[in-house]
Amino acid sequence: MPKPSTIEILPPEIKAQLQAWLQDPRITQLEATERANSLLELAGHPERVTKSAVNRYAVRMEEVGAKLRQSREVAQMYIAQVGAAPQGQSGLLINEMLRSMAFEVSLKMQEADAGDPESMAATINQLKNLALTMQRLEQSATINVKRENEIKRQALEEATKTMEATAKSEGVTAETIQRIRRDVLMMAG
């Protein structure tokens, strides 16, 4: 297992402060490194961070931030397209997003060091959890669609009964009532 970065083992409050400095465009990475080392010294911690460690961390933070911004943009685009779509369409969207994630993870597995069993086991476990999540989401979507269809069917049945009762009380013939009922049911599909 690789040795953790010096940034990763910083005390949480100093790491949080370093993150804030790295996000401030007025502060250079060199200044952020110096400030973090000053805080470490004041707090009596023997650790120190190097400029290269801070740079690697800043690059990683930017990559994660870029991916997060990209996924938010994609999600907003899909939400705009799907809007208040029926549950089935939303389920399909989620399924597609999860498939994409599974594909990305499998690509990373291929790139990963096959000699690291802990890393491979963790990745395989993540894929297993992802697959179970997809299965459960699909089952939930199916149940929701069935429930929605049953509610619509019951509402339509009640509406046709009310229509028939009103039509009878108004003197409409049984034949006309049946034709209206058939037409309504055909429109409801």
**What's the pLDDT tens digit per position in 10-39?**
998 999 999 999 999 999 999 999 999 999
Confidence of residue 135 (pLDDT cuts 50, 70, 90): confident
Query: Nearest-CA neighbor of 33 among 9, 6, 3?
Result: 6
Query: Angle between the 12-23 and 29-42 helix axes, to the nearest 10 degrees?
Result: 160
Task: Please enumerate in sequence order all residues whose Cβ is within 8 A of that of 18, keeping only pairs 6 or more positions apart, or say none.
Answer: 7, 10, 32, 35, 36, 49, 54, 57
**What's the pLDDT tens digit per position in 71-86?**
777 766 766 665 545 4
Q: What number is the average pLDDT over the span 91-102?
A: 67
Instruction: Tell me how far apart the alpha carbons of residues 40 and 47 are, in angstroms, rounded to a whole number.
Output: 7
pLDDT surpasses 80 at 4: no
Q: Which residues of 154-170 are buried (b: 16+ CB within 10 A; e: fewer)?
A: eeeeeebeeebeebeee
Instruction: Tell me how far apart the alpha carbons of residues 117 and 126 are, in angstroms, rounded to a whole number.
Output: 14
Confidence of residue 145 (pLDDT cuts 50, 70, 90): confident
Confidence of residue 52 (pLDDT cuts 50, 70, 90): very high
